[in-house]
């Protein structure tokens, strides 16, 4: 079998080897760097083929003795950088989640960064966990060729001469230590910044974002306050506030503005996709919660909310947002109940007062409700959606199996504004469709425009839920 294969292969001319270098680079790009370098041994024509590889990714997680591995790893990077002869587009250093480097590697990384700056590197990714934060060398702050910078477990202390990254489009900071001033200066001095992701940035409690070209913003952090200034391009925002202490000191920070909700949306006039998770709705609900936003979010088409559906202030904030989003297409609700907190839910309230009719109909077609446990407020919330979403097509309700039957009965009594509305139950065991009335004669409605990125999002639970499941 093997001989046969060898014969038939050799019989054909080797057309791959004759291809120009940049075509071979296509294949080599998908190989781990070690494998790409090993192609040197194939033949003399292949000897130098990897030398022009534009992207250098060092992420071998060889599970060896730490000291042995470390010295080998350093030699490997040195070897590759020494022989490499083309321009370097991307350099990525990652320990793939294995804690394999000691702090001694820092001087080597400094050396490599200096070399890469000379090569006008466009993308730099450092994901190396050492015993302490890696201090980004000052030379990097003068590297104007950078388009993308992704750092993990680093200490960022730009020199006073730092003038910003004039070409930076994408910045991703995870487990970073930096001062409030350094943070604000960094963000506001990257004029082309389009993508910003922040996670656990230590030392920054006021997240002030001043970025005129920012389009996508994602944060998973604990902060006291967040503010958007000059962010007119911002369309996609995901905020995970890991902890919000609704204490008086924080309340005092409301300053001139009496409502976090108003202040927040004031900076996001063109928002299209918004995710609010963990405690962020609690933050938004602080201060006065209006019935409607003064300026509706007319571009908002995707909204994902984590909400304590037994907390009236959070529900009110969510309703304000819904009433102010006339062009919403897809709504995702992750219900969560915190048992240990004192809730502000009164025992009785007037449904019409809290769940008042929106001034313009909400055009959401698809709703997902996850984690429903059939409390009164939850049912009232669902009642609101069924009553005021006139073009609703599907409502997926994911509830515990023990509450589904009872919920079904109650929900069937709710009046629905949309004759097309289909409620689909999902529990751990099965999913069933309730209300088949209009099912057969459903007209061929236009397809809902859901971009691939949103489709991906919809199937993804927010990060706190994953954490929760892990525990």
- By CB under 8 A, name the binding residues for other proteins: 1-2, 5-6, 8-10, 12-17, 19, 23, 26-32, 34-35, 37-47, 62, 72, 75-76, 79
Taking the complex as a whole, the smallest distance from the CB of residue 9 to other proteins amounts, in Å, to 5
Tokens of 310: 């037994």
Q: What is the DSSP letter of 390?
A: T
Residue closer to other proteins by CB (options 13, 436) is 13
Beta strands of 254-365 (E only): which ranges?
273-278, 302-308, 330-336
Length of the chain: 471
Q: What is the nearest approach in angstroms of other proteins to the Cβ of residue 455?
A: 11
CB burial class (10 A; 0-12, 13-18, 19+) of residue 433?
exposed
- Closest approach, Cβ 19 to other proteins, in A, equals 7
The H or E element that residue 92 is part of is strand 90-94
C-beta closer to other proteins: residue 34 or 442: 34
φ, ψ of residue 161 to 5 degrees: the values are -85, 0
- For the chain, how big is the Rg over CA atoms in Å? 27
Closer Cβ to other proteins, 46 or 115, answer by number: 46
362/384 Cα distance (integer angstroms): 11
| CA angle in degrees (0–180, nearest 5) for 206-208-209 | 150
Minimum distance from residue 49 beta carbon to other proteins (Å): 11
Q: What share of the chain is helix, strand, coil (3-state, %, to 5)?
A: 30, 25, 45
Between 33 and 219, whose beta carbon lies closer to other proteins?
A: 33
What's the sign of the alpha-carbon dihedral 451, 453, 456, 458? negative
CB-nearer residue toward other proteins: 15 or 471 = 15
Of 47 and 66, nearer to other proteins (C-beta) is: 47
Residue 27: closest CA among 19, 62, 14, 116? 19
Closest to other proteins by CB, 43 vs 410, is 43
Q: How far is the CB of 244 from other proteins (least distance, A)?
A: 38
> What does the alpha-carbon distance between residue 126 and residue 131 come to, in Å, rounded to a whole number?
15
3-state class (DSSP) for residue 41 = helix
Task: Give the span between the Cα atoms of 363 and 220, in whole angstroms.
Answer: 29
Rounded-to-integer distance, Cα 4 and Cα 330, Å: 57
- Nearest Cα neighbor of 33 from 88, 76, 97 is 76
Distance CA 277, CA 17 (A): 52
Q: Nearest approach, Cβ of 21 to other proteins (angstroms)?
A: 12
**Shortest separation between residue 72's beta carbon and other proteins, angstroms:** 6
Would you say 22 or 338 has its CB closer to other proteins? Answer: 22
Shortest spacing between CB 68 and other proteins, in angstroms: 11
In the complex, what is the shortest distance from the CB of residue 336 to other proteins, in angstroms, rounded to a whole number?
Answer: 31
C-beta atoms surrounding 152 within 10 Å = 21
The smaller minimum CB distance to other proteins, of residues 35 and 99, is found at: 35
Q: How far is the CB of 96 from other proteins (least distance, A)?
A: 14
- Of 5 and 413, nearer to other proteins (C-beta) is 5
């Amino acid at each position: 079998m093997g001989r046969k294969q060898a014969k038939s292969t050799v019989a054909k001319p080797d057309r791959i080897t004759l291809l120009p270098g940049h075509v071979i680079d296509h294949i080599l790009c998908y190989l781990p760097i070690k494998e790409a370098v090993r192609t040197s041994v194939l033949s003399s024509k292949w000897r130098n083929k990897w030398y022009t590889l534009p992207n250098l990714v060092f992420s071998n997680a060889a599970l060896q003795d730490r000291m042995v591995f470390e010295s080998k790893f350093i030699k490997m990077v040195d070897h590759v950088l020494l022989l490499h002869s083309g321009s370097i587009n991307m350099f990525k250093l990652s320990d793939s989640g294995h804690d394999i480097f000691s702090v001694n590697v820092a001087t080597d990384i400094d050396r490599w960064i200096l070399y890469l700056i000379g090569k006008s590197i466009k993308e730099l990714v450092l994901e190396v966990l050492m015993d302490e934060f890696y201090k980004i060398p000052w030379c990097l702050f003068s590297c104007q060729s950078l388009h993308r910078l992704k750092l993990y477990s680093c200490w960022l202390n730009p020199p006073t001469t730092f003038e910003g990254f004039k070409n930076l489009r994408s910045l991703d900071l995870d487990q970073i230590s930096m001062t409030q001033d350094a943070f604000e200066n960094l963000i506001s001095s990257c004029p082309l910044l389009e993508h910003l992701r922040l996670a656990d940035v230590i030392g920054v409690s006021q997240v002030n974002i001043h970025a005129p070209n920012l389009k996508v913003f994602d944060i998973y952090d604990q902060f006291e306050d967040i503010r958007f200034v000059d962010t007119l391009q911002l369309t996609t925002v995901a905020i995970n506030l890991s902890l919000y202490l609704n204490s008086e000191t924080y309340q005092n920070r409301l300053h001139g503005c009496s409502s976090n909700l108003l202040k927040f949306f004031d900076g996001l006039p063109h928002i299209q996709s918004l995710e609010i998770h963990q405690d962020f709705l609690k933050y938004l609900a602080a201060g006065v919660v209006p019935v409607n936003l003064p300026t509706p979010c007319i571009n908002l088409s995707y909204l994902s909310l984590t909400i304590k559906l037994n907390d009236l202030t959070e529900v009110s904030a969510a309703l304000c947002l819904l009433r102010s989003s006339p062009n919403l297409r897809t709504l995702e609700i992750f219900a969560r109940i915190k048992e240990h907190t004192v809730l502000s839910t009164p025992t009785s309230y007037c449904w019409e007062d809290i769940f008042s009719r929106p001034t313009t109909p909400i055009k959401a077609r698809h709703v997902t409700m996850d984690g429903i446990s059939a409390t009164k407020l939850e049912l009232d919330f669902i009642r609101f959606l069924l009553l005021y979403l006139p073009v609703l097509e599907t409502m997926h309700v994911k509830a515990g199996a023990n509450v589904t039957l009872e919920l079904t009965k109650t929900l069937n009594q709710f009046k629905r504004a949309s004759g097309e509305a289909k409620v689909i139950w999902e529990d751990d065991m099965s999913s069933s469709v309730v209300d088949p009335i209009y099912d057969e004669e459903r007209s061929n409605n236009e397809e809902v425009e859901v971009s691939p990125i949103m489709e991906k999002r919809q199937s993804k639970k927010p990060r706190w839920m994953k954490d929760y499941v892990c525990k």
